[in-house]
């Protein structure tokens, strides 16, 4: 970000003369329900949760279902994979003393496990984007981010073009500098875990005035009204944002965690996702992954144009560093009803 300008630099082209763009993303936090799910959920339905944690029945493993659903819809999304450090072998001793780190650690998976490698290969072969979900401690750790990217690239067999930070933990603009320096083309972290909306503008940002893009997050699943309890309200929120996107030629980015596709554990979210994609299709949106969006810009020769354009929303202050990343700068839009305590909703 260059100093002195109150106007963010943004990408201004939409693919294929689309009305707006919808970027679909999934952060793969916990493909196995495991003990971490138990930590959040056991108070509510202990017998059920014990069965689903220790039985063969794993409600968090949703890859096949999501792929089938998106295939049916004719769209492709991005899956961001975590490569977390091991609490005992990789983290300093003091981290062991913090219960929060234990909770983090309980959900850890190993990207090089056969099951995961299999999934990643199938996603890549099928045309899905596989990206980096930078782990909890990496926002200021370029070395670790580079290692995580390299491990992921060994699994995918190809270069990774972008990703999002776990729990939306971001240092602005340092994390973006790290991303750019390790060869990533974009970040999709900038957003809120508790409110849906275009708080960070309608277009991907260019924080350095070059080709590196930041996709603001418009909707995180857990920030919506719970569609299991109030489907109509959740759908209204999505419809309102689709309308705002269409009116502003926006790039709207949404995050549905894979476990939210489990109808038993998170009723309503899968149905709402299908509705959102179909509604965007009806409204002539371009729909795809952030990587695919970047590719359309490249082919249009737009990425080298560093100017902000008409429709740019001004942001308070003149530096990206002023942006709040965990709480939105405006509070005049509806936020999620209900708390994040149930069924592990309060996780990202
Ligand atoms: Zn995450």
> pLDDT, tens digit, for every residue of 88-141?
556 666 665 666 555 555 556 788 888 889 999 999 999 999 999 999 999 999
Taking the centre of ligand 1 as the mean of its atom positions, its distance from the CA of residue 310, in whole angstroms, is: 34
Taking the centre of ligand 1 as the mean of its atom positions, its distance from the CA of residue 348, in whole angstroms, is: 4
Taking the centre of ligand 1 as the mean of its atom positions, its distance from the CA of residue 125, in whole angstroms, is: 24
Taking the centre of ligand 1 as the mean of its atom positions, its distance from the CA of residue 81, in whole angstroms, is: 9
Domains of the chain: residue spans and CATH: 15-33+58-90+110-344 (3.20.20.370)
Query: Which regions of the chain does DSSP assign to beta strands (E)?
Result: 21-28, 78-82, 129-134, 162-165, 186-187, 213-214, 219-220, 251-255, 286-288
Whether 341 shows a pLDDT value over 80: the answer reads no
Whether 285 shows a pLDDT value over 80: the answer reads yes
Give the max Cα distance, the chain: 59
Reduced to 3 states, what is the DSSP secondary structure of residue 138? coil
Predicted local confidence at residue 323, as pLDDT: 47
Predicted local confidence at residue 187, as pLDDT: 98
Whether 224 shows a pLDDT value over 80: the answer reads yes
Q: Enumerate residues 6+ apart whose C-beta is below 8 A from 230.
A: 337
Neighbours of ion ligand 1 (CB under 5 A): 27, 29, 166, 348
Predicted local confidence at residue 330, as pLDDT: 41
Taking the centre of ligand 1 as the mean of its atom positions, its distance from the CA of residue 298, in whole angstroms, is: 28
Taking the centre of ligand 1 as the mean of its atom positions, its distance from the CA of residue 301, in whole angstroms, is: 33
d(C-alpha 95, C-alpha 87), whole Å: 8
End-to-end CA distance of the chain: 27
Predicted local confidence at residue 314, as pLDDT: 36
pLDDT per residue over 144-169, tens digit each? 999 999 999 999 999 999 999 999 99
Taking the centre of ligand 1 as the mean of its atom positions, its distance from the CA of residue 241, in whole angstroms, is: 23
Whether 75 shows a pLDDT value over 50: the answer reads yes
CB 48 within 8 A of CB 74: no
Taking the centre of ligand 1 as the mean of its atom positions, its distance from the CA of residue 82, in whole angstroms, is: 7
d(C-alpha 338, C-alpha 132), whole Å: 30
Taking the centre of ligand 1 as the mean of its atom positions, its distance from the CA of residue 345, in whole angstroms, is: 12
Taking the centre of ligand 1 as the mean of its atom positions, its distance from the CA of residue 84, in whole angstroms, is: 10
pTM exceeds 0.75: yes
Query: Average pLDDT for residues 258-278, to the nearest whole number?
Result: 95
Mean pLDDT computed over every residue of the chain: 81
Predicted local confidence at residue 14, as pLDDT: 87
Taking the centre of ligand 1 as the mean of its atom positions, its distance from the CA of residue 230, in whole angstroms, is: 25
Predicted local confidence at residue 115, as pLDDT: 84
Query: Average pLDDT for residues 237-256, to the nearest whole number?
Result: 98
Whether 338 shows a pLDDT value over 50: the answer reads no
Taking the centre of ligand 1 as the mean of its atom positions, its distance from the CA of residue 27, in whole angstroms, is: 5
Query: Average pLDDT for residues 10-37, to the nearest whole number?
Result: 82
Query: Average pLDDT for residues 14-20, to the nearest whole number?
Result: 86
Predicted local confidence at residue 16, as pLDDT: 72
Query: Average pLDDT for residues 186-213, to the nearest whole number?
Result: 96
Determine which of 50-59, 192-201, 274-283, 309-318 has the lowest per-residue pLDDT on average: 309-318
Taking the centre of ligand 1 as the mean of its atom positions, its distance from the CA of residue 151, in whole angstroms, is: 17
The pLDDT > 90 percentage for the chain reads: 59
Predicted local confidence at residue 316, as pLDDT: 35
Taking the centre of ligand 1 as the mean of its atom positions, its distance from the CA of residue 155, in whole angstroms, is: 19
Taking the centre of ligand 1 as the mean of its atom positions, its distance from the CA of residue 168, in whole angstroms, is: 7
């Amino acid at each position: 970000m260059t100093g002195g300008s109150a106007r963010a630099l943004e990408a201004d082209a939409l693919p294929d003369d689309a009305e707006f763009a919808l970027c679909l993303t999934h952060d793969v936090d916990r493909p196995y329900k495991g003990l971490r799910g138990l930590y959040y959920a056991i108070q509510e339905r202990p017998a059920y949760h014990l069965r689903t944690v220790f039985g063969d029945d794993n409600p968090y493993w949703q890859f096949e279902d999501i792929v089938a659903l998106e295939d049916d819809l004719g769209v492709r999304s991005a899956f961001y994979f975590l490569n977390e450090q091991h609490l005992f072998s990789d983290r300093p001793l003091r981290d062991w003393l913090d219960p929060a780190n234990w909770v983090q650690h309980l959900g850890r998976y190993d990207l090089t496990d056969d099951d995961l490698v299999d999934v990643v290969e199938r996603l890549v072969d099928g045309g899905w984007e596989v990206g980096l979900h930078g782990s909890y401690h990496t926002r200021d750790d370029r070395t670790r981010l580079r290692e995580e990217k390299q491990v992921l690239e060994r699994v995918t067999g190809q270069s990774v073009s972008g990703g999002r930070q776990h729990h939306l933990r971001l240092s602005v603009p340092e994390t973006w500098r790290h991303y750019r320096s390790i060869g990533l083309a974009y970040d999709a972290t900038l957003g809120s875990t508790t409110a849906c909306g275009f708080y960070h503008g309608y277009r991907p940002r260019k924080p350095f005035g070059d080709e590196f893009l930041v996709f603001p997050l418009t909707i995180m699943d857990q920030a919506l009204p719970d569609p299991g309890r109030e489907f109509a309200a959740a759908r209204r929120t999505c419809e309102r944002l689709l309308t705002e996107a269409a009116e502003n030629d926006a790039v709207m980015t949404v995050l549905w965690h894979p476990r939210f596709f489990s109808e038993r554990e998170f009723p309503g979210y899968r149905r709402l996702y299908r509705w959102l994609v179909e509604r965007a299709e009806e409204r002539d949106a371009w729909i795809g992954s952030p990587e695919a969006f970047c590719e359309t810009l490249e082919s249009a020769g737009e990425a080298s144009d560093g100017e902000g354009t008409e429709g740019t929303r001004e942001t308070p202050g003149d530096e990206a560093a002023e942006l709040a990343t965990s709480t939105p700068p405006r509070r005049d839009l509806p936020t999620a009803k209900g708390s994040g305590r149930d069924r592990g909703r309060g996780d990202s």
